[in-house]
């Protein structure tokens, strides 16, 4: 008589390493550091916690326009912050997207500033040309108002050397991150910093583009 087959042992669902939070848009569970954190300020205003460090209660969202739209449509943000004063209603989709993008852009500028202080970026025509020739560039951040001939030159370098290139901010704003009046481009020479900045651009794209 054939014996009964044994049941396969249950396999526990994989656990996320680190602090996990639920996205109030899709209701999935994700690592806290990969999510947008929404907070209520002291005056009742609702906004984005740029570095996930602000005190008080918070709600979380994926870096996804779809999740932002779902949270607003279901009024999940208002429910996450009961008792919000009337003059400070939860933001609409466009306002919240704008706040998230502003937070991302601020982190990118902070990363470039910190990179300068730590010697992980370079800027200025001669320094950039030297770093490119030496193969030291891991990423180039090009100002959106760069002259057409300079933009074409860096685009050709991007293609020839498979060098990641992103367009960001103005020459004046890039200059401020480098302690200069203007900079048309900033070269990142550290691979880890380059990946951090590229990750922020990926988040930016997911928030701006409808799924």
Residues 128, 167 within the same domain: yes
| Strand partners of residue 186 | 123, 141
Q: Are 139 and 188 in contact (CB under 8 A)?
A: yes
Residues 195, 121 within the same domain: yes
Boundary residue ending a domain (30, 60, 89): 89
Residues 152, 77 within the same domain: no
Q: Is residue 96 part of a domain?
A: no
Work out how many domains the chain is built from and give that number.
Answer: 2
49 is in which domain, residue-wise? 20-89
- Residue from 168, 170, 154 nearest 198 by CA: 168
Positions in the chain short of pLDDT 70? 1-18, 83-87, 211
Residues 73, 110 within the same domain: no
Residues 51, 112 within the same domain: no
Q: What is the pTM of this model?
A: 0.88
Residues 83, 106 within the same domain: no
Residues 137, 56 within the same domain: no
Q: Is residue 11 part of a domain?
A: no
Looking at residue 180, its pLDDT comes to 97
Q: Which residues contact 119 (CB under 8 A, 6 or more apart)?
A: none
Looking at residue 10, its pLDDT comes to 44
Looking at residue 87, its pLDDT comes to 61
CATH number, domain containing residue 41: 3.30.1230.10
Q: Which residues contact 131 (CB under 8 A, 6 or more apart)?
A: 122, 137, 187, 189
Q: Is residue 51 part of a domain?
A: yes
- Residue from 196, 103, 211, 60 nearest 141 by CA: 196
For 89-144, the DSSP string reads PPP-HHHHHHHHHHHHHHHHHHHHHHHHHTT-EEESHHHHHHHHHTT--SEEEE-T
Residue 117 CB-density burial (10 A; 0-12 exposed, 13-18 middle, 19+ buried): exposed
CATH number, domain containing residue 198: 3.30.1330.30
Looking at residue 43, its pLDDT comes to 77
Helix, strand and coil percent figures for the chain, each rounded to 5:
45, 15, 40
Q: Is residue 31 part of a domain?
A: yes
Residues 162, 187 within the same domain: yes
């Amino acid at each position: 008589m054939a014996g009964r087959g044994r049941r396969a042992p249950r396999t526990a669902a994989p656990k996320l390493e680190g602090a996990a939070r639920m996205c109030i848009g899709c209701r999935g569970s994700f690592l806290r550091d990969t999510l947008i954190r929404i907070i209520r300020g002291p005056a009742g205003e609702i906004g984005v916690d740029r570095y996930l460090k602000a005190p008080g209660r918070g709600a979380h969202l994926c870096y996804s326009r779809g999740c932002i739209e779902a949270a607003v449509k279901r009024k999940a943000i208002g429910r996450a912050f009961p008792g919000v004063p009337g003059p400070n209603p939860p933001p609409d989709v466009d306002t919240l997207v704008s706040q998230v993008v502003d937070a991302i852009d601020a982190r990118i500028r902070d990363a470039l500033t910190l990179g300068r202080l730590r010697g992980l970026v370079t800027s200025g025509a001669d320094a950039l040309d030297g770093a490119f020739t030496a193969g030291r560039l891991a990423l180039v951040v090009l100002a959106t108002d760069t002259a057409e001939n300079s933009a074409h030159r860096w685009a050709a370098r991007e293609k020839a050397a498979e060098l990641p290139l992103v367009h960001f901010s103005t020459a004046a704003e890039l200059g401020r991150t480098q302690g200069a009046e203007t900079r048309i481009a900033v070269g990142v020479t550290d691979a880890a910093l380059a990946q951090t900045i590229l990750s922020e651009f990926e988040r930016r794209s997911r928030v701006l583009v409808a799924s």
